[in-house]
Amino acid sequence: MLPQRVILGIGLAVLLIISAASISLDIKARSDAAWIAHTFEVMNKLSDVRLLVLRAESSARGYGLNGEANFNNEFREAEERIAPAFAELKQQVRDNPDQVKRLEGAEKIAEQRLAISRELIAKKKIGDTDGINTMFASATGHALMRQLNDQFDSVIAAEEHLLDLRAARSQRTGTVLISIDLAGASLILLLVAVLMREGRQLQTSLSASEAEKQSLEAAVAERTEHLLAAQEEMRLSTSVLKNTVHSMAEAVLVIDPKGDIVLSNPAAEKMLRYRPGMNVNNLRALSNVFHADGATPLPLEDFPASRVLRGEEFDEQEIVIRPLRGGDQIDLVISGRPLREKSGAISGAALVYHDITASRETERKLIESQKLEAIGKLTGGVAHDFNNMLTVITGTTETLVSRLRNQPDLVAVARLIDDAAERCGELVKHLLAFARKQPLRPHNVDLNKAVLDVAKLLRPTLGQQIEIGTVLGKDVSPAHIDPSQLANAVINMAINARDAMPDGGKLLLETANVELDEAYAAANPGVQAGPYVMLAISDTGTGMNPEVRERVFEPFFTTKAVGHGSGLGLSMVYGFVKQSGGHIRIYSEEGHGTTIRLYLPPARGTVDVITADSEAVSRGSEIILVVEDDPMVRNFVTNQLTSLGYKTIAASDGPAAMAIVDRGEPFDLLFTDVVMPGGMSGRTLAETVARKRPNLKVLYTSGYTDSAVVHHGRLDEGVLLLTKPYRKPQLARMVRQALDGGT
């Protein structure tokens, strides 16, 4: 047997070697833990930079679509943060030249994308619609975003690779540490056993060995404590990553090759109705899934989970989900990445779902608003020429009726033509109301009184089977509106309500002061936040399905039988409210009736007293310069004015009228059309003549209004306008009013 000192020396040497190895591995484990934490921090900041670029891109796109200042502000805020964020990232990976190079590539692509966004915002500010449409059609921005996402993915993949290497190395180091510590402890116990068997003569040596054993045990405990601390740091890093995923607004699912969900976050439970224990097949069974158009069913092989488990990587796959058992439609954009083992085999997949329902709804409302705006512009142009013809027709039939009094048969025919022309005139008025081209004469109106007055007119119109009720708010502010147009709007909505209640029902008129906040304005393009006076008309009728509700304000759209409606009633209401600076909203559900709310601009000041216009035919002997480009209308007007005792001078356009002025021919009134060819509008002509002849009296006429004499839907201060078509009494009254200096 070896001497006990030899045994003790060998044991101590081995223990020292074990201790040195343990300390070295402990330092290595601490270094690995620090690198793992650093890698997680880099990946989190990469995600932040990507979100900043996406936010800037979506804000610029939102500004390009509707011009809202909030989108521009969001873009500027995100743009200012992007460059510092890239700089910080490059500083953190400065010891990895490949990663720095990748980040520089991503930063260059991001700057290119920001340049496109800045160009889009600039075009929107100057109203370059064609340029904006060209930019959207080119899809250059989308291509750059795909390149940027690919660049970010390469950076993240490199960091993930480093993370895998360092985590594996840390795990190996921990295993070796534990093994070394266990070996040291075992050796100590073995030495103790050997020394105890040697007997009393080894007592002194045993005491020394016992002291050494305690020292070694303390070292082992210290090394174990260090290892546990490193493992705790790794656990904390994992917890941070897990908390980050759980706090994301996007739904995150990690699935295995069978489709079982192994990781999810709370957003997935809310957005996708995921419950623990479900797999992707269970999720599919909850809803019908469609392509981005919302109409074409999505084949099973094109589902995101199917694609990613085949090994596809994709971004921005847009789908529409309609739950089978209640709930609203959801528009989603999905990104997917397969998870692979070292061999390349697919071990699962990660899917991220972003809810874009709100932005799609905003885009839909904006497109609907633009469509109605385009129809309105077309309508205004048609109405101009149509009103010129109606002016001649109504004036001529009026003359025929007066001159054929002794020929009843011909009078009946003339009245029939006159009635038809009158109906055409009403249709054109409705079209102009929708197009927001009617010349409004707004006043400060007591809305409660106006509603009560209209309700009295409705009772004989709607019949006994319709119960009419009113709920009028207290201290309702006056509304600044055209009272006659308001009455027409209420009557049109009441008649629609009556037709929706063939077996009778209840019509309710309500008023109140309301405040539309910024959130409501953001969700409804074209609405300004602030105070409004609300008028609501509700019925208990059949209601509308979503398809009808989407088109209800379009001109000539109707669900009534042929011959039972023109389809212009609600479009007229829409145009009147919009032109008045208000907002209209419709709520309807099949079988539960309809409510239409008009949000009207509040008045400033007291309620105006409105006097009725006189229809008496006024005459005179002054000289009137008539400027009208349509020869039929020009001849008709000069004949009518001559029959009223006036002398007339006629001109076909602005330059011809200026030639008359330059010749020095006298006249007392300039009666001019607003919209004329020749490069000079009626307003420009009047201002030019006024510089040569101060105190000029002017009367405008037009088949529709434009920005020459009307701004924000209201006649300019001091402007007199005779709208076409008009009859002889109206012409006589307005000419006399203009000559007498009235407004």
CA distances from 122 to 52, 64, 72, 118 (A): 20, 9, 10, 6
Domain 443-600 architecture: 2-Layer Sandwich (3.30)
pLDDT averaged over consecutive 10-residue blocks of the chain (743 residues)? 62 68 61 67 78 80 78 84 87 86 86 86 84 78 80 81 74 68 66 59 59 72 72 68 73 87 82 79 84 86 88 88 81 90 87 84 68 60 65 72 73 70 62 52 84 82 84 88 81 84 88 88 83 91 82 66 52 77 86 88 66 61 91 87 92 91 93 83 90 90 56 58 80 89 64
DSSP 8-state secondary structure symbol assigned to residue 587:
E
pLDDT for residue 611 = 47
pLDDT for residue 622 = 92
Give the whole-angstrom CA distance, residue 699 versus residue 643: 19
3-state secondary structure of 351: strand
The residues, any chain, with a CB within 8 Å of residue 592's CB and separated by 6 or more, are 543
Strand 698-702, strand 710-711: pairing: unpaired
pLDDT for residue 661 = 92
- Among 381, 367, 417, 366, which residue's Cα sits nearest to residue 396? 417
What share of residues in the chain are helix, strand, coil (percent, to 5)?
60, 15, 25
DSSP 8-state secondary structure symbol assigned to residue 297:
B
Q: Could you tell me the two tokens for 341?
A: 């083992």
User: Taking the C-alpha atoms of 268, 273, 276 and 282 in order, what is their torsion angle to the nearest 10 degrees?
Assistant: -110
Contact 8, 209 (CB under 8 A): yes
Strand 669-673, strand 623-627: pairing: parallel
Q: Could you tell me the two tokens for 352?
A: 């991220």
Three-class DSSP labels, 158-214? HHHHHHHHHHHHHHHHHHHHHHHHHHHHHHHHHHHHHHHHCCHHHHHHHHHHHHHHH
Specify the residue for token string 């509304």: 479
pLDDT for residue 95 = 85
Measure CA 646 to chain center: 57
pLDDT for residue 688 = 92
Give the whole-angstrom CA distance, residue 672 versus residue 724: 12
What CATH number does the domain located at 251-355 have? 3.30.450.20
Number of helices and strands in the chain (H, E): 20, 20
- Among 643, 629, 705, which residue's Cα sits nearest to residue 672? 629
Q: What stretch of H or E contains 339?
A: strand 330-340
pLDDT for residue 533 = 93
pLDDT for residue 51 = 78
3-state secondary structure of 629: coil
- Among 617, 619, 653, 647, which residue's Cα sits nearest to residue 634? 653
pLDDT for residue 241 = 62
The string of DSSP letters for 386-442 reads HHHHHHHHHHHHHHHHHH-TT-HHHHHHHHHHHHHHHHHHHHHHHHHHHHT-S-B--
Which tens digits make up the pLDDT trace of 594-622? 899 999 999 876 555 444 444 556 788 99
Whether 251-355 and 443-600 share one fold: the answer is: no
- Among 109, 577, 541, 132, which residue's Cα sits nearest to residue 372? 577
- Provide, rounded to the nearest whole percent, the portion of the chain with pLDDT above 70: 73
What are the backbone angles phi and psi of residue 422, rounded to the nearest 5°? -65, -40
CA distances from 351 to 22, 40, 396, 435 (A): 42, 20, 74, 47
Give the whole-angstrom CA distance, residue 651 versus residue 630: 10
- Largest alpha-carbon pair distance within the chain? 157
The residues, any chain, with a CB within 8 Å of residue 385's CB and separated by 6 or more, are 703
Q: Could you tell me the two tokens for 707?
A: 């920005």
DSSP 8-state secondary structure symbol assigned to residue 516:
E
Q: What region does 605 belong to: left with phi over 0, alpha with psi -120 to 50, or beta?
A: left
Specify the residue for token string 């070996």: 183
pLDDT for residue 708 = 41
Tell me the one-letter amino acid at 696.
Answer: L
Domain spans of the chain?
4-247, 251-355, 362-435, 443-600, 623-739
Give the whole-angstrom CA distance, residue 352 versus residue 296: 22
Which tens digits make up the pLDDT trace of 316-329? 888 888 888 767 78
CATH fourth-level superfamily of 623-739? Response regulator (3.40.50.2300)
Specify the residue for token string 């007119």: 457
725 upstream amide cis, omega within 30 of 0? yes
Give the whole-angstrom CA distance, residue 640 versus residue 642: 5
Specify the residue for token string 């439970």: 269
pLDDT for residue 383 = 63
Give the whole-angstrom CA distance, residue 56 versus residue 73: 10
The residues, any chain, with a CB within 8 Å of residue 183's CB and separated by 6 or more, are 18
